[in-house]
Amino acid sequence: MEFPKFLLGDNTDYPTAIFVVHTEYPRFIINLEDDEVEWLEDFSKEDQKELEAEAESLIEEASAFYDREVSRYEQ
């Protein structure tokens, strides 16, 4: 099964949270309410350096994905 790069997540236990799931490596879930990120991968020290450089861009993409989805819903 193929998944889109980003998915929106919702849970009634967290009514104000805005979860975006990144399904490609490095997989993560971000809560856009507070920008908290939970990585779904284990990283070596070498990987962490590369990840730090890529993380900001991925988080910006996740936020842009959410904005796009909300704008489509509002139309």
pLDDT tens for 28-69 read 999 999 999 999 998 888 888 888 778 889 999 999 999 999
Residue 6 has pLDDT above 90, yes or no: yes
pTM here?
Answer: 0.87
For residue 47, what pLDDT is reported?
A: 82
Of 7 and 44, the structure prediction assigns the larger pLDDT to: 7
For residue 52, what pLDDT is reported?
A: 79
Nearest CA among 17, 15, 16, 47 for reference residue 29: 17
Residue 75 has pLDDT above 80, yes or no: no
